[in-house]
Every structure is written in C-alpha cells, then in structure tokens.
A = this chain, B = another copy of it.
Amino acid sequence: MDAAFDLPLLEPDGLERVDAARNRERILSAATRLFDERGAGCVSMDEVAEAAGVGKGTLFRRFGSRAALAAAVLSERERGFQEAFIRGEPPLGPGAPARARLIAFGEALLDTLEAHTELLLAAESGPERYSHPAHVVHRLHVTLLLREADPRCDAELLADTLLAALGADLFIHLRGLQGMSLQRLKEGWGELVGRTVPAIEPRSVDHAPTEPSAGAARTAAELAAAEPAEI
C-alpha cells in the first residue's frame, strides 16, 4: 500500500497494468525498428508514437525524453555484455586478475561502441549520461575491480575518470572524426590501464580504506545483488 513508492520509470515490471506493458513493448520494438531502418536522429518522436500506435503523451510518459528512449533501446542490446562481465568467462568475467579484467572490460566496451555508433549519436550526452543505469553498473564494476587491484586508490573517482576514456562522445570523435582504428583505441586503453593499475593485486595490504572486505569473489557477488538492472 504505502510501500509502493518506486519510480515507475526505473522499475517497470511487476505492478504494471497490462495495457501499459503492451504499449511499452510496442514502443520499444517500433523504436528499434525505425532506428535501424533510418538511423536514429532521422526519426522523430511523433513518428515513433505513430508507428507504435500510441499517443505522444504515452510515449513521453514511459520514456521521458528522446535521449532516454535511445538509451533504452541501446540498453536492451547491452544485456549480453553485462552478463559477460558479471558472470561470464575470464578474462572478462570473474576469475582473472583485476587488471586483466579491466583491460578486457574496456576492449569489450569499445566493441559495443563500435557496433552501435549510430544509436550513440542520439542517446543521452550530457551530465545525465552518468546517471544512466548502464553507466552506473559499469562504474560499480570498475570501482570494485580497482579497489581489488589497489585498495589505496580513490576508486570511485578513478573509475569515472577511466570510464571517461571509454565515453561515447570521445569514441565518436576519435574513431569517426579523427579516424583512429579500433585496434589503436584498444591498445591505448590497455596502455592507460597498464600504467594506472598495478599488475598484481597486493597480497595482504595493511588496510583497505573504508570497506573492510575485498577479494576476487566480491565483485561478482556485489554486482549480482544489484544486478537485474532493467538498464
């Protein structure tokens, strides 16, 4: 009763009216199709609404903004990626040393950027970007890996800083406008992480700053808890 206070946009499943759910599906699939066909950015919200067979009000009720819709479409496709770095095989998934996982993570993220450049242009690209569920998951992942590799560093800050090097805007600039190869970007990432993060996690360092526990299993566990992440 009084406990149902979740934001509708973040937790769409569960207590959703059937017509609402149906419309959400319609919108998402219509948007996906249109974006694919004509490229995002050449598709207006009116068109999406029409193609989905819903009113404009409904469209905005569910997704809030054009950028958020693009992000939602993007997120659907990123599902597999999240699975891979949370529960997949090493070196991306748990099991490998933190630094190797970090490098693999960046390379995989660069691959998904390469694959979805088109959509990225339409998606969120302001400070809001950092509040997006997908980014939040990435940040948490990187933060935990950093803390594991080097308990003394300012992991939260460093995580966002490193992730900035994998940002969509920067990618589009370097890859598209500057014409750098994907290979080169990956090497650059490897180099950056290599210099920034110690190779071997210190065995029994005196103390981790605030958080008491730290270990290889931690990352997966903590992420698994916060994870279903409707992105």
Identify the A interface with B (CB < 8 A). 121, 125-127, 129-131, 153-154, 156-158, 160-161, 164-165, 167, 169-170, 172-174, 176-178, 180, 184-185, 187-188, 191-192, 195-196
- Given A160-B173, A165-B164, A177-B131, decide whether A188 and B154 contact each other with a Cβ distance below 8 A: yes
Smallest Cβ-Cβ distance to A127: which chain B residue: B172
7 A-B residue pairs with Cβ-Cβ distance under 8 Å, sorted by A, are A127-B169, A158-B191, A158-B192, A161-B188, A169-B169, A195-B195, A196-B196
**CB proximity of A132 to chain B, nearest CB, Å:** 11
Cα separation A197 to B125 with both chains bound (whole Å): 29
Query: Is there an interface contact between B195 and A174, defined as CB atoms closer than 8 Å?
Result: no
Choose from B126, B160, B177 the contact partner of A174 (Cβ within 8 Å): B160
**Pairs A-B, 6 closest by C-beta atoms:** A164-B164, A130-B173, A127-B172, A157-B188, A161-B165, A127-B173
Main secondary structure, interface of A, reads helix
Q: Which residues of B contact A180 (CB under 8 A)?
A: 157
Q: Which residues of B contact A188 (CB under 8 A)?
A: 154, 157-158, 161
Smallest Cβ-Cβ distance to A167: which chain B residue: B164
Cα separation A127 to B175 with both chains bound (whole Å): 11
**CB proximity of A109 to chain B, nearest CB, Å:** 14
Q: Which residues of B contact A156 (CB under 8 A)?
A: 178
Cα separation A121 to B165 with both chains bound (whole Å): 20
Cα separation A121 to B130 with both chains bound (whole Å): 14
Q: Which residues of B contact A130 (CB under 8 A)?
A: 169-170, 173, 177
**CB proximity of A212 to chain B, nearest CB, Å:** 22
Cα separation A154 to B180 with both chains bound (whole Å): 12
**CB proximity of A9 to chain B, nearest CB, Å:** 18
Cα separation A196 to B192 with both chains bound (whole Å): 7
- Given A164-B170, A196-B195, decide whether A176 and B125 contact each other with a Cβ distance below 8 A: no
Query: Is there an interface contact between B169 and A126, defined as CB atoms closer than 8 Å?
Result: yes
Smallest Cβ-Cβ distance to A135: which chain B residue: B173
**CB proximity of A27 to chain B, nearest CB, Å:** 25
Q: Which residues of B contact A157 (CB under 8 A)?
A: 174, 180, 184-185, 188
